[in-house]
Structure 1
Amino acid sequence: MQQLPPELTRIPLTALDVLRFLGRSQTDGVDKDTLAQGTGLSDIGVGKAIRGLVTKGYLNMDNYVYFLTEKGRQAINDVLAYDAAHQQGGSQERQHHGLQADLVAVAPQSLGTRKPGRIQIGLDKLSGVQEAVQLLLRFSSIGGSLNRGDATLTIEPGRVPAPISVDVTPDGSYNAVRVRVEGLQMLDMDEVHPAGGIFFDIPVSQASTNVQAWCGTLHLQP
């Protein structure tokens, strides 16, 4: 079975997400905001990923713009080859990476101006959970307001937490509302681990009863 080179197993999992994004987009010379938007990582998470990639020589930085090195291009090939080999073996891949969960958001296909719409946010496909994990979900938006800024979930073995409801109201400043959901794992000694996240845009026109869904992967520490 295809395995990652040893050095790639010693960088943050979020760094692998950055390499995947750069491989999919086939772009070079990107800034931190572009990487955050492309990967769905939080500001803390993408910063940690960038530091790991620069330190290990996968990226070079010039005036806060990041460029792939030859080593970085080879790493992308290694990661994509690993992913392709594990497409039919997701359970083994999840076990290799530790605890994972899918972060899922379901929202209306469109919103009415200054009319609230409800977003359901929850977890799915939990893998490797052996004991309770505390997860803080942090919500933010551009072009609208949310009725809550965060929520705490307790992930327990064999149980999927109930989804969280968040109401979003467009303020009329844009033709879409961008919503970001960040997952922060609460560890001992008040330490916080950025686990990943998602962001999505909901068009503002007429309120729709149809829904759409977005999904991202959270990487949790055991």
Structure 2
Amino acid sequence: MTELPFRLKTLEPLPGALDIIRYLGKLEEPVADIDTLCDELGLSDRGFSKAIRRLVTKGYVQMVGDQVYRLTDQGRTAADELAEYDANAPEEAETEDLRVERKLIVAIPEKPVAKQPSNVFIGFDAADANAELDDDAQMVLRVSAIHGQIDGDEMLDLGNDPAYNTFTLIPDAYTKLRLRVEAYQLNPNDDGIETCGGLYVDIDVSNTGESGDYKAYSTNVNLLRV
């Protein structure tokens, strides 16, 4: 059975993207304007805008006039691959879950001092070779503390290299605090937000002295491949 190439699978969650390639690929001259594409494929202006923007960015189509689009050579190849796949695919083909694992890391002093600010580093390890992203993922790190004060939500643009944000933690006058980190990802396909995972850690708090060396905690979270 013919399998859809992975680079085209990444377009499946974006409504209309593959259908635009299919439609243009069936034309003798693979060119059409926005009104024709929307009418023929039943796409809204908003849906078409999202799909065509991704296709242009990925090099499958190009604008050749005022709201007129043409398949590129890469787009023609993709149209041929889609035609072969459609001819051989079962009626109810299962789609692959286009998610990849990434390690979320929290580095915090072993024993922060009450009422004293400490830096906390929260981010992600480098991507494994089989889990690389094509584009940067827009992440939201939601951080909260019980018996402590810390910054709230922060955005992080995540590529394939390690990336982190620095947060300021001020423990309250308790012997322990709980730090919770939740990772979310903005979905580029539908403007929604995806829950990726998170962790919490319980930390001893000192009343005096130094905060000590840093200790790292980690967990795997699931990102939408973009």
Query: What TM-score does the superposition give when structure 2 sets the normalisation length?
Result: 0.51
CA contact (8 A) 1:145 1:168 kept: yes
CA distance in 2, matches of 1:133, 1:97: 13
Q: How many residues align?
A: 124
Alignment of 1:137-176 (within 5 A): 137-146=141-150, 148-156=151-159, 158-161=160-163, 163-172=164-173, 174-176=174-176
Deviation sequence 1:115-173 (CA, Å, 0-9, x none)? 11111112103223122211111111100101x211111122x4333x2111111121x
- Separation (CA, whole Å) in 2 of partners of 1:219 and 1:134: 13
2:187 is aligned with 1:184: no
Contact map agreement 1:100 1:128 (CA 8 A) in 2: no
Residues 145/104 of structure 1: CA separation in 2 closer, same or farther (3 Å cut): same
1:130 and 1:176 mapped to 2: Cα distance?
Answer: 41
Identity %: 27
Moved more, 175-184 or 200-209: 200-209
**Matches of residues 73-112 of structure 1 in structure 2 within 5 Å?**
98-112=99-113
Residue of structure 2 in register with 1:131 after alignment:
135
Counterpart of 2:119 in structure 1 is: 118
Q: CA deviation at 1:198?
A: 1.3
Q: 1:97, 1:176 → 2: CA distance?
A: 39
> What residue number does 1:67 align with?
none
How far, CA to CA, are the matches of 2:213 and 2:154 in structure 1? 25
Q: What is the letter of the counterpart of residue 138 of structure 1?
A: R
Unaligned runs of 5+ in 2: 1-95
Task: Kindly provide the amino acid, as one letter, of the partner of residue 192 in structure 2.
Answer: E
Residues 98 and 128 in structure 1, CA contact (< 8 A), matched pair in contact too = no
Indicate conservation of the 8 Å contact 1:182/1:197, yes or no.
Answer: yes
CA drift of 1:114 comes to 1.0
TM-score when normalising by structure 1? 0.52
Q: Decide which moves more: 203-212 or 135-144.
A: 203-212
Q: Is this contact kept in 1: 2:112–2:212, CA < 8 A? A: no
Q: Which residue of 1 aligns with 2:213?
A: 210
> Shift of residue 96 of structure 1?
8.4
What do the CA deviations read for 1:13-44 (whole angstroms, capped 9, x no partner)? xxxxxxxxxxxxxxxxxxxxxxxxxxxxxxxx
Provide closer, same or farther for how the CA distance between residues 180 and 166 of structure 1 changes in structure 2, counting only shifts above 3 A.
same
Give the distance between the partners of 1:113 and 1:178, measured in 2 at CA: 13
**Conservation of the 8 A alpha-carbon contact between 2:126 and 2:161:** no
Once superposed, what is the RMSD of the aligned Cα atoms?
A: 2.0
Aligned partners of 2:125 and 2:161 also within 8 Å: no
Q: Which has the higher helix share?
A: 1
Task: Give CA deviations for 1:57-97 in whole Å, capped at 9, x if unaligned.
Answer: xxxxxxxxxxxxxxxxxxxxxxxxxxxxxxxxxxxxxx987
Larger-gyration structure (1/2): 2
The structural deviation recorded for 1:220 is 0.9
2:197 equivalent in structure 1: 196
